[in-house]
Amino acid sequence: MIIAPSVLNANFLNLEADIKATEKGGANWIHLDIMDGNFVPNISFGPGIVQQIRKCTKLPLDCHLMIENPELHVEAFAKAGVQYITVHAEATKHLDRLLHQIKELGCKAGVSINPATPLESITEVLDLADLVLIMSVNPGFGGQSLIPYCLDKVSRLRAMKPDLQIEIDGGINLKTMPQAKAAGVNVFVIGSAIFGAEDVEAETKEFGKLLL
């Protein structure tokens, strides 16, 4: 089981402190939500910030590209030092080629689908992908509520692929995490529920207790 705090809603005026606090609280990965204002209606940060984040943690960096034309940018994120690069099936015409491109860069290749996108859109690449990220909110912003039908998608995927890294992203809190775990999730992206807490380290530990 993996806890992957998303820094999207962290305190960017004191980002290193927030990252170190969640690391001390037992976080396993750091999730980086990259947004371009085109694929999603929000803009977040790019490879330059990722390079800075790389310097302040030893945890694996789990890079979620919510951008158009991801093939043009994967190399920059690989060079910035991330371990996972996840792209949206909806954002590329050549998903098989893109997943190979990510692997050739030395990163693990993930594929993500939005809530309304059927699982069938990625079944052909399930043996190629190292990870599948099931969006449980419409991407673009932290602090939204989990969309329940996305858990059904997780269960169907887990039944197809018992050993796959299945990640969920959006609306994960102390109440919804057990539901996601029961559905078959093993990687949990948590944003506002951790970085919106008074004590980031303590809140991260609370999530860890739910996975014991």
Q: Taking CB under 6 A as the rule, which mask of x and - marks residues 38-77 in contact with ligand DX5?
A: --------------------------x-------------
Please identify which residue in 18, 33, 62, 203 interacts with Zn ion, judged by CB under 5 A: 33
> Residue 165, interface with ligand DX5 (CB under 6 A)?
no
> Residue 172, interface with ligand DX5 (CB under 6 A)?
yes
> Residue 169, interface with ligand DX5 (CB under 6 A)?
yes
Q: How many CB atoms are closer than 10 A to CB 25?
A: 21
Using DSSP's 3-state secondary structure scheme, residue 1 falls into coil
Q: Helix, strand, coil % (nearest 5) of the chain?
A: 40, 20, 35
d(CA 113, CA 119): 8
Q: For this structure, is 169 an active site residue?
A: yes
Cβ at position 6, least distance to Zn ion in Å: 5
Q: Which among ligand DX5, Zn ion, none contacts residue 165 (Cβ within 5 to 8 A by kind)?
A: none
Q: For this structure, is 33 an active site residue?
A: yes
DSSP 122: T
Please report, in angstroms and rounded to a whole number, the separation of the first and last CA atoms in the chain: 9
